[in-house]
Amino acid sequence: MPAVVVGGGPAGLMAAERLAAAGAEVHLYDAMRSVGRKFLLAGKGGLNLTHSESFEAFVTRYGLRRDEVEVLLRRFDPQALRDWVAGLGIDTFVGSSGRVFPKDMKAAPLLRAWLHRLREQGLQFHMRHRCLGFVEAAPDALALRFDTPLGESVVNASVVVLALGGASWSRLGSDGAWVPWLQARGVPVAPLRPSNCGFEVAGAAHRGGAGWSEHFRSRCAGQALKSVAVEWRDASGTPWRQAGEFVITEYGVEGSLVYAASSQLRDAIDADGQATLCLDLLPARSLEWVQAELAHPRGSRSLSTHLKTRLGLAGVKAAVLHEMLDKVTLADTTQLARKIKALPLVLRRPRPIDEAISSAGGVRFDAMDGSLMLRSVPGVFCAGEMLDWEAPTGGYLLSACFASGLVAGEGARDWLARP
């Protein structure tokens, strides 16, 4: 019986590669028409493979699951990933932010080279096969049900690697439909929740707190707040601050700075019903400087002109001040200066998980052994985003997916080789 891999993302393909390299007959099944759909979409604006920072800094990006993910990354760290990509004939470079990209920035050439090598290794692909769960099988075998274009079928396997993704971007195959049938086999699964996601804002209190005003939404949705910083507090009350940019949306906020804080903001909303993100519109300037500039007489000039000429605040930065502050605060230079340096944005809920870049939750690590084999279903290994971990964008998501795929694939290989 063949080794079966379910899921054609980076984790599943890496597991399949490790099995095929060991000489196993490997069949890969995926619900979509082609593999790597989410991988290709993630690389649409430039494929961020990993990050060049030190390993010690790198592993801190996995938050509460640092210890578990670090074990995987020590088996296939960021440099090993870059070396592996080079083995496919793809050069990489380090960007100004420390992020690592293919030289041509594209995902498609890397995926094509990888699939070519996998086919040469004998990997057999079965597309448009959606896994429906387990069926009873012979004592020494595993069997899976699949919905296929020709109807339902049953596949027997000697070993199985599941790399079914989380629950974001369901149109690309990651819909979390695997949760109930794994739970039915006694596998503990942490609830799937949005990660690297946008949030809905409560809006200004003096406007009733019902989200952005129609005036602000129509003028500013889709615009980026650049060269700003945000500050938030984690569950322990520790303040965190990060500079960068994010985007105003129809419903609230999204983008890199928001994603960086998304796990803490989401958890705060779960605990308290809302979370507050403080926005510094002039992170390079001190509060004293802002106060001094605002104190200059503006004569007949409008406040908008004064903000632009004295502080360089215009466009969406000025608009968000007018949106969030009442007339009394805008007229008081001391209060206004403080808000420019710490403008509170109250967030009331994350956007739906299907809109998120990734998801948190999944198969708990204590449900698996060190090779990522399910304790309750021997011979079944899990990898990728379906595991209970999360990370910010910046190459951390892909790195852990590749590493977990390698560990699960090698675990499955060793399972086949057992006496």
Residues 149, 237: one domain? no
Q: For residue 154, how far is the Cα from the chain centroid?
A: 33
Domain boundary among 350, 373, 402: 350
Alpha-carbon Rg of the chain, whole angstroms?
25
**What's the domain count of the chain?**
2
Residues 16, 90: one domain? yes
Residues 251, 138: one domain? no
Summarised one tens digit per residue, pLDDT across range 344-397 is 999 999 999 999 999 999 999 999 999 999 999 999 999 999 999 999 999 999
Summarised one tens digit per residue, pLDDT across range 224-259 is 999 999 998 877 788 889 999 999 999 999 999 999
Residues 221, 139: one domain? no
Task: Residue 21: give the domain boundaries.
Answer: 3-195+359-416
Listing DSSP states for 390-413 in one string gives: ---SSSHHHHHHHHHHHHHHHHHH
Please give the pLDDT value at position 315.
95
Summarised one tens digit per residue, pLDDT across range 250-287 is 999 999 999 989 999 999 999 999 999 999 999 999 99
Instruction: Tell me the H-state helices in 297-395.
Output: 303-306, 315-324, 327-331, 333-341
Question: How far is residue 375 from each of residues 137, 163, 364, 382, measured CA to CA in Å?
Answer: 18, 17, 11, 11
Residues 265, 382: one domain? no
Residue among 163, 88, 79 at smallest CA distance from 404: 163
Residues 59, 189: one domain? yes
Give residues with Cβ within 8 angstroms of 333, minimum separation 6: 291, 294, 295
Task: Look at residue 110 and tell me whether its pLDDT is greater than 80.
Answer: yes
Residues 57, 162: one domain? yes
Q: For residue 135, how far is the Cα from the chain centroid?
A: 32
Residues 52, 154: one domain? yes
Residues 83, 225: one domain? no
Q: What is the mean pLDDT of residues 324-337?
A: 94
Domain boundary among 326, 350, 374: 350
Residues 178, 223: one domain? no
Residue 169's pLDDT band, with cuts at 50, 70 and 90, is confident
Calpha distance 19→148 (Å, rounded): 24
Give residues with Cβ within 8 angstroms of 211, minimum separation 6: 200, 201, 202, 203, 217, 251, 252
Residues 382, 290: one domain? no
Residues 100, 171: one domain? yes
Domain boundary among 350, 370, 387: 350
Calpha distance 349→109 (Å, rounded): 38
Q: How far apart are the first and last CA of the chain?
A: 16
Q: For residue 246, how far is the Cα from the chain centroid?
A: 16
Please give the pLDDT value at position 209.
77
| CATH code of 406's domain | 3.50.50.60
